Amino acid sequence: MPLNALFAEADKTGEAADFARELEAELIRLRRDFHRHPETMFGVDRTAASVAAQLADYGLEVERGVGRYFGKGVVGTLRGARPGKTILLRADMDALPIREQNDVPYRSATDGVMHACGHDAHMAMLLGAARVLSRCREELAGTVKFAFQPAEEGALPIADGSLVSGGRDMIEAGLLDGVDLCFALHVWPELPLGTVGVHRAYAMAASTHFRVAFQGIAGHHSTPHLAVDALLMAAQFVTEMKVVMASEIDPLEPAVLSFGTLRAGTVLNAIAESSEVTGSYRVFEEETVLRIRDAIERRASAIAGSFGGGSEARFRLGTALKNDARAASLAIAAGRAVFGAERTLTLEKPSLAGEDFALYLKKTPGAFAFLGSGTPACRHPLHHPNFGIDERMLLDGAKLHVRFVLEAMREGGVLEG
């Protein structure tokens, strides 16, 4: 079966239609299995093993344990019959520490963890594309890499104190060496089902995660002068960083800083010996990323010093997700081939959400697409305990990944049609 015929809309009863129906059923099965067994951050052993098994079953070369520090990524490689570009497609594997509230047969079997950001769908879609392209390797000119990444949602510290996400872990292990173009997509409830959106430049903000720890001296409430209150340090830091954002950042530049957790103390009548504040800030310019980082370090140190205590700040510095203009044009062409011109949207306003696919695009030309998932029945936002998708989009996502590859190869003059 020719590659372009696999998803031929005119063929409703023939071999292509039969294959599409079979593939859709497989993608639903895969997505539900991933959804039922979510894993967070770098602890994705079951998920990675399942992904690797599927890629091997499709006849791809499979590399397990990819990553410089944590080694939990999976990469499948498909080599075409002729030389050409190397194109990388990426999906994320990690879930979130959220207790699912959906009442579905495949709801999370792990209490307090769920796929609330669509990564279960992303994996199924990319596996679908791997299956499709593996059937047509004789028609391909070049190499396709299918990268499955852990820890997109966060990062963990390494020996030097910096925080490492799954994208950085795999890239520093050489994932992008020799790659000419890279693509990824994300389900997006802000766009209607059956649409795709692509930015020609900035798509998402540089989302920096931070942890600030304060160290004081424990004491009894009756003798506060003998203690150093780490809880007060944290409280003052929270207030002062809001002042920094209001007074030191250009008000015409998009920027937001928010706190996520504050931990301090163990009992109600003792002064806290230590405290920790975590949060994130989101901007677009690299200079502003560094300016806010420096402000966090300065304010934390000054506050701790004024109390007679100490502080330590750790960061996962963010990178803004900026599409390469040429790759964005290829992604738009892919969207039009799958959804039609009217339902392929060129987006202007970037999101203040963050994505570590930005690290890929900083090193290699590529593009990131937003796959519409919004319906009246699936109206909850990302990271909501009732988040879900309409599974009809799984086949469309697989098609879109395939078209990314076809458009990139066609640009190089290695495919016809």
Over the range 208-233, which residues count as b (16 or more CB within 10 Å of their CB) and which as e?
A: bbbbbbbbbbbbeeeeeeebbbbbbb
Q: SS3 of 97, please?
A: coil
220 annotated ligand-binding residue: no
Count the neighbouring beta carbons within 10 Å of the beta carbon of residue 246: 10
Q: Is 383 annotated as a binding residue?
A: yes
Q: How far apart are CA 206 and CA 258, in angstroms?
A: 14
DSSP H helices, 309-392, are 325-339, 357-363
Confirm whether 396 is a catalytic residue: no
- The answer on whether 186 is annotated among ligand-binding residues is yes
3-state secondary structure of 274: strand
Q: Is 10 helix (H, G, I), strand (E, B) or coil?
A: coil
Torsion angle defined by CA atoms of residues 256, 375, 36 and 52, in that order, rounded to the nearest 10 degrees: -80
CA distances from residue 133 to 190, 213, 311, 312, 401 in whole angstroms, order as listed: 30, 49, 52, 49, 10
> CA 170 from chain center: how many Å?
13
Which of 39, 152, 229, 324 is the catalytic position? 152
Q: Give how far Cα 153 sits from Cα of 170, 209, 382, Å.
A: 15, 10, 12
**Burial (CB count <10 Å: 0-12, 13-18, 19+), residue 160:** exposed
Residue 417 in tokens: 């049609």
Q: Is 94 a catalytic residue?
A: yes
Catalytic residue among 26, 92, 94, 324: 94
Q: Which amino acid is at 392?
A: R
Which has the closest alpha carbon to 407: 342, 358, 337, 349?
Answer: 337
Kindly give the residue spans of alpha helices, DSSP state H, lying in 37-171: 45-57, 119-134, 166-171
Whether the CB-CB separation of 166 and 73 falls below 8 Å is answered with: yes
Q: Please report, in range form, the residues annotated as the binding site for Mn(2+).
A: 117, 119, 153, 186, 383
Q: Please report, in range form, the residues annotated as the binding site.
A: 117, 119, 153, 186, 383
Q: Which residues participate in catalysis according to the annotation? A: 94, 152
